[in-house]
Amino acid sequence: MNIGNLPFVVAALLVAFGIYTFLFKRNLIKLVIGVSLVETGVNLFLVTLGYRTAGIAPIYTFAPEAERMVLPTPQALTLTSIVIGLATTALLLSFAVFIHRHYGTLDVRKVKELRG
């Protein structure tokens, strides 16, 4: 197997673990962790897309005279996605705080007033 494909495998594993955590764990905080894992996997995938062998960072300040610079788009996408991830995680955790205050538990089996 080509070593260059390893990051993609890791990204796929992260997404799979994240979805597993999201589907089968019972604790709200663990659900948030699951969502974060999926997010990390997607981010890793995006940033790996931008990898070029022997490419250097696309920064002109004191740049060495190299052959090729990578296109910064995937990095920009990843950064944006991280920023969004920060906001969603913060919001999810705030909901978890309030749920704990109202229900006194973080167990999804006990937090289910909304059914049907």
Partner 1 sequence: MTALTNHAPVLLIAIPLLGAFAVPLIGKLGRQARNTFVGLIALITAAFAGLLAAHIFGQAGAPSLYVLGGHQGFGIPLPSGLSVPIRIILEVDGMGAFMALITALIMLTGAFFSFSYWKERSGGTLFYSLLMLLTAGIFGMELTGDMFNFFVFLEITSIAACGLIGFRVWLKTSQEAGFKVMALYTLSGLFVLLAVGLLYGQYGGLNIAYLASALTGSTIDIVALGLLLTGLALKAGAVPLHMWAPDAYGEAPAPMSAVLVANSQASLYGLFRILFTLFGLTISVGALGWILIVLALLTIFVGVTMALIQNDIKRLIAYSAVSQIGYMLLGVGVGLAVSAAKPDFGFVAMQGGIFHMLNDAACIGLLFFVSGVIIRATGTRDLNRMGGLAHSMKWTSVLFIIGAFALAGVPPFNGFASKFLIYEASFKLSPFLAVIAILSSILLLAVFVKVFQAAFLGAKQEGIGGEVPMGMMVPMVALALVVIVFGLFPGFFVDKIVTPAANALWYGRDAYIGLVLGGG
Partner 2 sequence: MNSGMSLIVRTVTRLVYGLALVFGFYVIMHGHLTPGGGFQGGAVVASAFALLLVAFGAAGIKGRLNHHLLQTLEEIGALAFLALGFVGIGTAFFYNLLANSGSLFGGPVPLGPNAGVFNAGGTLPLMNWAVGLKVMTGIAAIVIAMLIGARKEETE
Among 9, 63, 66, 91, binds partner 1 (CB under 8 A): 91
* 52 three-state secondary structure: coil
Q: How far apart are CA 20 and CA 95, in angstroms?
A: 22
Should residue 54 be labelled a site residue for partner 2 when binding is judged by CB under 8 A?
no
Q: Which long-range contacts (CB under 8 A, 24 or more apart) does 62-67 make?
A: none
Q: How far apart are CA 49 and CA 76, in angstroms?
A: 12
Should residue 23 be labelled a site residue for partner 2 when binding is judged by CB under 8 A?
no
Should residue 79 be labelled a site residue for partner 1 when binding is judged by CB under 8 A?
no
For residue 71, the 8-state DSSP code is: -
Q: What are phi and psi of 67, to 5 degrees?
A: -70, -50
Should residue 92 be labelled a site residue for partner 1 when binding is judged by CB under 8 A?
yes
Residue with smaller CB distance to partner 1, 63 or 91 = 91
Should residue 30 be labelled a site residue for partner 2 when binding is judged by CB under 8 A?
no
Which residues lie near partner 1 (CB under 8 A)? Answer: 15, 19, 22, 28, 31-32, 35, 38-39, 42, 45-46, 49, 71, 73-74, 77, 80-81, 84, 87-88, 91-92, 95-96, 98-99, 102-103, 111-114, 116
